[in-house]
Structure 1
Amino acid sequence: MRIAAPFFLCLFFLMCGALAADPIPTPRPIYFATGSTKGTVGGHVLRGERALYTITAAAGQTMTVTITAPEGNAAFQIYLPGTTIARDNDGILEFKGTALPGAGETDDATRWSGRLPQRGTYLIVVGGTRGNAGYTMDVKIE
């Protein structure tokens, strides 16, 4: 019986660690090659997860974002500078800020183009629309 108490105590601490919230991921910046106005990123997102990117631009510049997925199941959102990232009580990422029109959470955007309203660092959030998603995303700023 003496072994049981330490075993269950250890099991309890392991379970508590497994229940701890995942850290908030750090967005990856999108860089362009010297002299270029566009760049490409890509990867995979598991169902329910998000890939986060940032891009810095000036007010009035035109940005075009296009995402392609072999199974047609990836989409993105674009948020204005100043957007913050947190986790809700269920551990799901939430974005506190304003999305660009046509590139919001319910838009399932796969292509967006428009003039940027302000200078700063924009947040691009990629997710799957159904299941896991592999994707390639092109970003152009002029």
Structure 2
Amino acid sequence: MTILFQSTAAWAGDCRSPAPIEFRKGSNAAGVHGGIVRAEDVCYALVARAGQHIEADIQSPDENVVFSLYAPGYRVTPGTDGVDITGPTLPGAGDEDDATSLHATLPANGRYLFLLGTKRGAGGDYRLQVRVH
């Protein structure tokens, strides 16, 4: 079963206080959807354990929305254009990877950060599906 939480860029966009990706009791899948305004980012937090497997897929009508996935220990600090996020990312889901899909084993316990953005100038709608098992 996939659970969808409606979100908007205004609610989920503040990477200092990212919206949580939560799973209903007994479920290992969740999803979020919304829109990204041009030159803005959207962030979501996911709490998971080391050794769990994650499957994340993002869909957008124009195939313009991509993600990075930061491991626990990331830092969000004020930057010149909003915020700067530093720290380790999962292989295949780094800042330069333009990830739309990820299948990986999580390396650490804690709070992971999904950073969603666009790979071209225009904004876009998205649907992010996450499974952890």
Question: Is the structural similarity TM-score above 0.5?
Answer: yes
Unpaired stretches in structure 2, ≥5 consecutive residues: 1-13
1:54 aligns with 2:45: yes
1:63 equivalent in structure 2 = 54
Q: CA deviation at 1:91?
A: 2.5
User: Given the two structures, how large is their TM-score scaled by the length of structure 1?
Assistant: 0.80
User: Given the two structures, how large is their TM-score scaled by the length of structure 2?
Assistant: 0.85
1:37 equivalent in structure 2 = 28
**Structure 1 CA distance for aligned equivalents of residues 47 and 63 of structure 2:** 27
**Structure 1 CA distance for aligned equivalents of residues 81 and 104 of structure 2:** 32
2:117 equivalent in structure 1 = 127
Contact preservation (8 Å) 1:24, 1:86: no
Moved over 6 A (4+): none
Q: CA deviation at 1:24?
A: 5.7
**Structure 2 CA distance for aligned equivalents of residues 87 and 128 of structure 1:** 20
1:26 equivalent in structure 2 = 17
Residue by residue over 1:36-89, the C-alpha shift from the partner in whole angstroms, topping out at 9 and shown as x without a partner, is 00001011111111111011111100001100001110000000112111232x
**Structure 2 CA distance for aligned equivalents of residues 92 and 33 of structure 1:** 32
Which of 99, 112, 115 is residue 109 of structure 1 equivalent to? 99
Deviates more, 1:41-50 or 1:104-113: 41-50
